[in-house]
Amino acid sequence: MPTATAGMPAEKASAILNEFSRRRFADSIAVPTGDEKVRRELRRLGEPITLFAEGPGDRRDRLREIYTQRAEAGGEGEDEDLEMAEGATSGEDEPEEEFYTEGSQELLKARQAITRYSLPRAAQRIQRQEYESTIPLSAHVAHRSAIKDKLSGFELYGSQVAGDRPISITRFSPSGELLAAGNWGGGIRLISIPTLEAKYDLKSHAGRVGGVSWFPGATLPESGVTTSNVNFASGGSEGNVHLWNLEEDSLKESKPMAIFSGHTERVCRVEFHSSGKYLASAGADTTWRLWDVTTGTELVAQEGHSRPVYAVAFNIDGSLISSGGEDSIGRIWDIRSGRMVMLLDSHSAPINAVDWGTDGYRVLTGSSDCSVKCWDLRAVRESTSIGAHTGGAVTDLRWYKGADADVIGVSRDVKMEDADESNDAENDDEETYSDDRPLRKSSTFFVSSGTDRKVKIFSADDWVSCTTLEGHAGNVLSVDASRDGRWIASGGYDRSVKLWSRDDGAAI
């Protein structure tokens, strides 16, 4: 029995310890992940399938509590639910069983296509990294130090009210000419950069816009869109994903070109695959889903998280996807096989954002525990933890993916003095270097936003905060950086979108 310490009675201390023990026992009980399985189990136990205003996560917690109470009551060992609880606690040394769900032919073809797409890109990325390793370290240090020095010059360029409700998501188009700002009222405003003038107002979602993602290479119609009719996607609280085209008539009527339905709760984030053929969505129904953009087919409804999934992101090769959510656990999945390849399990609060670096093996996670963590896929471990927003949750983060982020190959023969002449359409997939200076700027820094009302810029070399941008009157809910590094945009609870740039107005 604990003794009374620091003025706490022994009985109270004992009660606290017992409660901790009870919670550990409850966490060890195996509970179905899918909401349908939870409902079936509640029905089998004679309990209400759902209570008023109860969501999937609440329903799963209630089932866990029922298991715990029946196990504590004793004398009901014949019940299958108690056997399940006993098996979860006594079989700690037994390996967890994996289970597989038979996939469709469409999923098989998609995985084959993703494999054919990703393997050459991975090979070219590794070739580039091998070449970069031959460049003197002093050249790398000088190059990246020059970029880091420029990051301290960012300041407020302009501010504009972008909706009647808080701004939940801000994303630059690949061309940098537009900024999409989604809000809690279900609207999306397309804003011209750098004037911050509203170009279009879309009202299609029934509630909060959780995610916006631009199609790879999407530009304004007048700039010429030849790769796809899709320009961007959005997700809303009604559980639908909308695909949008920047044609004048479609935007004026707020009419999406396609609607993907499948999530039973709100869509928290959407993200295009680098090929543009697939789209991932993270949902509050504890799943993330993979869609075929062309046919609208739902290819995967991936379970694995026990609570709402808040974020998803593809790596640059297109072979892996990371997810994170309210259960504080991040996961990396190989979408070519469907297997989980790495667990990101050191956050102590929900993960609100994930993003991959362009090197293909580093992924960032931002959490409500105020930290940003960097995970190294090669070492299969957490490599860095940053106290990013002290006193505030990290709501969003984005690696800087420069114009060279999509450049995969490397030409060993092209010199700096020949770069302008050789940088034509035939060499779009090649990156040029001099003998002593790397040109690559992508993934040299990242930006984050938080409930401390700040936007921060961090160097990706020493993970030091280079600049803190202040100006929002409330929580900052989203942040993004343009591909040329000239602009940073943020949106927040004060309903405004703020545009930040360097004091000299130049690109990084």
pLDDT tens readout for residues 474-497: 999 999 999 989 999 999 999 999
Q: What class, spelled out in words, does domain 105-502 have in CATH?
A: mainly beta
Q: Quick: pLDDT tens for 304-358.
A: 998 999 999 999 999 999 999 999 999 999 999 999 999 999 999 999 999 999 9
> Which one, of 71, 64, 25, 57, lies nearest residue 42 by Cα?
64
**Distance from the Cα of residue 484 to its chain's centroid:** 21
On whether the CB atoms of residues 354 and 323 are closer than 8 A, the answer is yes
Tell me which amino acid residue 102 is. E
> Which one, of 217, 225, 185, 224, lies nearest residue 201 by Cα?
185
pLDDT of res. 391:
83
Please compute the mean of the pLDDT values over residues 231-248 and round it to a whole number.
Answer: 92
**Mean pLDDT score across all residues of the chain:** 84
pLDDT of res. 228:
55
CA 311/CA 309 separation, integer angstroms: 6
Angle 169-205-178 (CA atoms, 0-180°, nearest 5)? 40
- Tell me the sheet residues that pair with 386: 372
Sequence ranges of the chain with CATH classification 2.130.10.10: 105-502
pTM above 0.85, yes or no: no
Beta strand segments in 55-205, E: 154-161, 167-172, 178-183, 187-192, 198-203
Please compute the mean of the pLDDT values over residues 388-414 and round it to a whole number.
Answer: 74
On whether the CB atoms of residues 449 and 478 are closer than 8 A, the answer is yes
pLDDT of res. 75:
42
Name the residue with higher pLDDT: 222 or 98.
Answer: 98
Q: Among the listed ranges 103-107, 284-288, 313-317, 443-447, which one has the minimum average pLDDT value? A: 103-107
Q: Among the listed ranges 21-25, 111-115, 272-276, 465-469, which one has the minimum average pLDDT value? A: 21-25
Please compute the mean of the pLDDT values over residues 5-20 and round it to a whole number.
Answer: 68
Unique residue bearing structure tokens 């006193």: 391
In this structure, what DSSP letter does residue 358 have?
Answer: T
Tell me which amino acid residue 403 is. A
pLDDT of res. 419:
32
Share of the chain above pLDDT 90, in %: 57
Q: Among the listed ranges 50-59, 68-77, 333-342, 357-366, which one has the minimum average pLDDT value? A: 68-77
On whether the CB atoms of residues 29 and 64 are closer than 8 A, the answer is yes
Name the residue with higher pLDDT: 265 or 411.
Answer: 265
Angle 111-114-117 (CA atoms, 0-180°, nearest 5)? 155
pLDDT of res. 316:
93
On whether the CB atoms of residues 305 and 325 are closer than 8 A, the answer is yes
On whether the CB atoms of residues 432 and 415 are closer than 8 A, the answer is yes
